[in-house]
Structure 1
Amino acid sequence: MRVKQRIQRRLSFWEGMNIRGETMNASPRHRWSSSPDLRKSGKIGWILMWLLGVPIPVLIVLFLIRGCT
């Protein structure tokens, strides 16, 4: 009887997963688009400019100019 319970417990762990072991939820747990606060504050734009190679001093100048308006 205990063996059957162990097997059922192990199988219940795999119920909601696909072949790769990923959960089969309609939406992933962590997505950039699910964070409206991050998009509204404009942080993604600054990070994107930095990742594209805009030098940090230029970003600081742009931040200061933008803050003065």
Structure 2
Amino acid sequence: MARRPVSALHPIGCTCKLCQPALTPRRRLDLARTATRVLVILAVVLTIPFIVASALSGGKGDPR
């Protein structure tokens, strides 16, 4: 079989490596998304006491 030049047009549904690049493993992507969600939730949970303290000190008139 003759090799096609790189610039050759490929038919729809072509399964060559140029048309179907290797994707990152799905597991890595899921792990990255899960880690990001955990860090965001952790950041939100850790900021809640500071928000409550700020609201309480503002309600009492404490200038801190």
Give the TM-score of the pair, scaled to structure 2.
0.32
* Bigger radius of gyration: 2
Give 1 or 2: higher helix fraction: 1
